[in-house]
Chains A and B, each alone.
Chain A
């Protein structure tokens, strides 16, 4: 019986999601982009690292669709591989934030008392501070590989997950089914994993999409400042780094505009999908 009800709820959610026009546009763009990023390198035999000694800063040509950068690397290959890096960093760091933030929110909301005060106070401290500044400091201290950039961005993005999980745990805790679970003497761990976590997932899923979008922006900003993903590894942010030179900015649009457009398009699509999921899940929340 429970099974039937669950599947019809899921069907409703999916139906609402597929009816959401912007979310569908976003999903379409993102799917095309991911397919391109995954398949083009082998189809077109792209290499973002190899240097063409015959052309430095060359304009677009049949060999180099978007020209070459000032070191003679193929810009189109860097754009595609940069997409891999930017998307991976975005998604992985959102996962890191989720893995830190959700358990802390569950603990704070379920156990209350001193743990609650400590965790939520810590969240306040992190939230009242410009995370960009802390990310800059951390990235400079820990060094700037793709892994450390991912971890740093992920580590500083936990507060939103904690806040949302905490809020929904507080309301779920008072529900009859949790009280009766406590009354029949279920272990705290079982209650959290079996009753509280599944029922507080909706806001977590929604904020996961927005977090991913935000992480992609953060990574690209960091790389743009030269403090994120380091060349020769490409990322959309460090491709745009070259546009800090006024001659690249004014005369070699093909070097920087495509990376910027892909970046905006990706973040926009993820936000559209997030909006779609929010409307489909029909939770009253403001993110």
Chain B
């Protein structure tokens, strides 16, 4: 098991390096030199500019600059924000919590809704649950996060006034878990809509496929209880493709969080990203991108490990 985990981790490293190269190339395509961003004194002489170039290492070849940046990055130094003048790591770290809370809540909610619905619709095809599930998955796939967000805010905040329209806490200054939960529900629902749809389809599909397998027929002819067959034999095997789907969902959750956080003024990485992009604050943009890349990779490694727990064959390959 440990050996397997180590192998997955080793595979993740080139992926991470690939992403850092990509991000670096992208940001070096940006119009305007970083120097103009940091040092915007119009009276600066050519000599002064040269000194600044040297100080920021901008006089060196791009490849060297990349390695310098990577070295700093691995040391935990993401540079200084052009926009706020704070350390990028500080700006990012205070927003990591809200984003992780939102994405985890949404992932958990999607699993809790989609897996039972998927199982029921596979067991009772053409039932009301089955139709409900497929309607949900079609709408989920066609509903952009932001439109769902606007509709929810209009219905539940503006008209019915049962949920707040944004933020994590209200302006009263007191902070309680209940209040956080109250603010979390709408953005969580919005971020889940698309995931629930695709997860229902996946669960239904793989449950139907498993039903055809010989070992299910064997279990049935042995006279096992339906419940035992479902829980012990069918679910465990159907779970492998479902877990794959969950792995594919993780990047979408982080991507969707950008839009969702923007609508609900959720103080996470996504809304910071929009601020940074509007201000062309490249150190922050690069920092967030790399941070999200790292989180997605960690997520994938966790998924891989769950995978190997479910299916011993994968572990020993």
Contact = CB atoms under 8 A, between A and B. Distances in A.
Contacts of A272: 138
Nearest to B288: A133
A286 B26 contact: no
Interface string A198-230: 000000000000000100010011001111000
A3 B14 CA distance: 49
A278 to B, nearest CB: 12
Contact of A137 (B27, B248, B262, B278): B27
Given A217-B144, A249-B150, A141 B26 contact: yes
A162 interface: no
A14 B26 CA distance: 44
A137 B23 contact: yes
A87 interface: no
- The DSSP consensus for interface residues of chain B is helix
Contacts of A131: 251, 255
Contacts of B296: 128-130
A268 B145 CA distance: 14
A240 B151 CA distance: 11
Given A240-B150, A268-B142, A271-B142, A125 B262 contact: no
Interface in B251-281: 251-252, 254-256, 258-259, 262-263, 273-274, 277-278, 280
Nearest to B137: A271
Given A133-B273, A141-B31, 19 more contacts: A129-B292, A130-B292, A130-B296, A133-B288, A133-B289, A134-B289, A137-B23, A220-B144, A221-B144, A221-B259, A225-B262, A225-B274, A226-B278, A227-B277, A240-B150, A246-B158, A246-B165, A256-B150, A268-B139
Nearest to A214: B141
Given A125-B19, A125-B22, A220-B144, A244 B259 contact: no
A131 B23 CA distance: 12
A140 B277 contact: yes
A132 B277 CA distance: 13
Contacts, number: 126
B289 A137 contact: yes
Most chain B CB neighbours (cut-off 10 Å) among A224, A237, A240: A224
A93 B18 CA distance: 24
A137 B150 contact: no
Contacts of B18: 121-122, 125
Interface in A103-144: 121-122, 124-125, 127-134, 136-138, 140-143
Interface of B: 14-15, 18-19, 22-23, 26-27, 29-31, 138-139, 141-147, 150-151, 153-154, 158, 165, 202, 205, 248, 251-252, 254-256, 258-259, 262-263, 273-274, 277-278, 280, 285, 288-289, 292-293, 296-297, 300
A256 B263 CA distance: 15
A238 B31 CA distance: 24
A16 B176 CA distance: 57
9 contacts: A137-B26, A213-B142, A220-B144, A220-B146, A240-B150, A246-B165, A264-B142, A268-B139, A271-B142
Given A217-B144, A244-B263, A246-B165, A133 B255 contact: yes
Nearest to B11: A124
Contacts of A237: 146
A61 interface: no
